[in-house]
Chains A and B, each alone.
Chain A
Amino acid sequence: MQYLVSVIDDKTNPGRDDREPLISAFNERLIADGHWVFAGGLADTDAATVVDNRGDEPMLTDGPFVESKEFLAGVWIWEAPDLDVALALAAEASKVCARKIEVRPFL
Chain B
Amino acid sequence: MNGAVPVNETVEAVARAHRDEWARLVGSLARRFGNLDVAEEAAAEAFATAVARWPTDGVPRNPAAWLTTTAQRKAVDRLRRENQRDARHREARMLHDDTPPEPLGLVDDDRLRLIFTCCHPALAMPSRVALTLRLVGGLTVPEIARAFLSQESAIGQRITRAKAKIKAARIPYRVPSADDLPARLSGVLAVLYLVFNEGYLASGPGTDPVRQDLTAEAVRLARLVRELLPDDGEVAGLLALMLLTEARREARVEGGELVTLDEQDRTRWDAALTAEGHRLVRERLVAAAAGTAPGRYQVLAAINAVHTSARDVRDTDWSQVVALYDQLARLDPSPVVALNRAIAVAELDGPEVALALVEHLGSDLDDYHPYHAARADLLRRLCRDAEARAAYDRAIGLTGNTAESAALTRRRDTLR
Contact = CB atoms under 8 A, between A and B. Distances in A.
A87 interface: yes
B96 A105 contact: no
Contact of B172 (A84, A104, A105): A84
Contacts of B161: none
A106 to B, nearest CB: 9
A82 B172 contact: yes
Contact of B168 (A81, A84, A87, A105): A105
Contacts, number: 28
A89 B180 CA distance: 14
Given A83-B122, A87-B122, A1 B170 contact: yes
A105 B169 contact: yes
Contacts of A105: 168-170
A84 B172 CA distance: 7
Name, among B98, B122, B180, the residue most crowded by chain A CB atoms within 10 Å (CB to CB).
B122
Contacts of A107: 92, 168
A87 B123 CA distance: 13
Contacts of B176: 84
B96 A82 contact: yes
Interface in B56-111: 92, 96, 98
B168 A1 contact: no
Interface in A64-107: 81-84, 87, 103-105, 107
B171 A81 contact: no
Residue among A1, A81, A84, A105 facing the most chain B CB atoms (10 A cut-off)? A84
A81 B176 CA distance: 14
A81 B171 CA distance: 10
A107 B92 CA distance: 8
Contacts of A1: 96, 170
Nearest to B92: A107
Nearest to B121: A87
Interface residues of B, number: 12
A83 B92 contact: no
Interface residues of A, number: 10
Nearest to A3: B169
A87 B394 CA distance: 43
A84 B116 CA distance: 12
Interface string B216-249: 0000000000000000000000000000000000
Contact of A81 (B92, B96, B169): B96
Nearest to B184: A84
Contacts of B120: 83
Contacts of A84: 171-172, 176, 180
A67 B180 CA distance: 38
A87 B121 CA distance: 10
Q: Which of A1, A104, A105 has the most CB of B within 10 A?
A: A105
A103 B176 CA distance: 20
A66 to B, nearest CB: 23
Interface string A26-41: 0000000000000000
- Highest count of chain A CB atoms <10 Å: which of B168, B170, B171: B170
B171 A82 contact: yes
A72 to B, nearest CB: 19
Nearest to B177: A84
Contacts of B98: 81
Contacts of B170: 1, 81-83, 105
Given A81-B170, A87-B122, A107-B168, 14 more contacts: A1-B170, A81-B96, A81-B172, A82-B96, A82-B171, A83-B169, A83-B171, A83-B172, A84-B171, A84-B172, A103-B169, A104-B169, A105-B168, A107-B92
Interface of A: 1, 81-84, 87, 103-105, 107
Closest 3 CB pairs of A and B: A82-B172, A105-B169, A82-B170
23 contacts: A1-B96, A1-B170, A81-B96, A81-B98, A81-B172, A82-B96, A82-B170, A82-B171, A83-B120, A83-B122, A83-B169, A83-B172, A84-B171, A84-B172, A84-B176, A84-B180, A87-B122, A103-B169, A104-B169, A105-B168, A105-B169, A105-B170, A107-B168
